[in-house]
């Protein structure tokens, strides 16, 4: 689970400059964000978990993420408070909707493959990366903050959109 992932992130960053100030992820069902948030809270960290919505508007999605987080906390037997301010969601990168690809998303897929050899799927990780890039461009984060982007996979979408992705990558 992503609760365990947060514990691992904490362990791996302990010898560095400490945990990230921000973790940015694609948020589709809420489970990834809930697990990371519960881990952050259990460890007493100030890390903020920002979910880039891939299918729903944040007003509709936020209660679901909160409930999943509360259910996880209860299952783990933890006594943690989850406040509204803990639920950070951005829905302005939804584009045309779930599974619908825009020119911006195609551009991010192409650019990250070309410059970083990083493969992003058009449904989840490309939207999250588009969100991260835009938030950085608009100074949402301070230059002193450490940001961790978690590439959550999206492998099934690579196969479902293989022809489209190949056309995005043509000429790279």
Residues 135-170: tens digit of each pLDDT: 999 999 999 999 999 999 877 767 777 777 777 777
Mean pLDDT across the chain: 91
CA-based angle 70:74:77, to the nearest 5? 140
HSE-up of residue 162 (Cα within 13 Å, Cβ side): 4
The position carrying tokens 């010898």 is: 15
Residue 10 has a pLDDT of 96
Encode burial over 119-146: b for 16+ CB neighbours within 10 A, e otherwise.
bbbbbbbbbbbbbbbbbeeeeebeeeee
State percent of the chain over pLDDT 90.
72
Tokens encoding 45? 């960290």
Render 7-21 in DSSP notation, one character per residue.
HHHHHHHTTTT-S-S
**CA distance to 51, 94, 121, 157, 172, per residue, from 109 (Å):** 19, 15, 7, 13, 11
Domains of the chain as residue ranges with CATH: 2-98+122-152 (3.40.50.1100)
DSSP 34: H
Across the range 43-63, mean pLDDT stands at 96
Residue 3 has a pLDDT of 98
């Amino acid at each position: 689970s992503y609760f365990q992932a947060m514990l691992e992130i904490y362990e791996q960053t302990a010898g560095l400059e400490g945990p990230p100030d921000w973790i940015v992820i694609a948020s589709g069902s809420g489970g990834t964000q809930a697990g990371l948030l519960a881990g952050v809270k259990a460890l007493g960290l100030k890390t903020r978990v920002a979910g880039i919505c891939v299918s729903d508007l944040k007003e509709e999605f936020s209660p679901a993420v909160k409930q999943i987080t509360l259910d996880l906390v209860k299952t783990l037997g933890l006594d943690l408070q989850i406040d509204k301010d803990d639920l950070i969601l951005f829905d302005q990168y939804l584009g045309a909707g779930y599974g619908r690809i825009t020119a911006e998303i195609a551009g991010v897929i192409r650019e990250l493959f070309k410059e970083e050899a990083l493969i992003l799927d058009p449904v989840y990780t490309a939207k999250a990366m588009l969100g991260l890039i835009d938030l950085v461009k608009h100074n949402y984060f301070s230059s002193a903050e450490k940001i961790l982007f978690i590439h959550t996979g999206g492998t099934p979408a690579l196969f479902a959109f293989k022809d489209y992705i190949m056309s995005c990558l043509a000429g790279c």
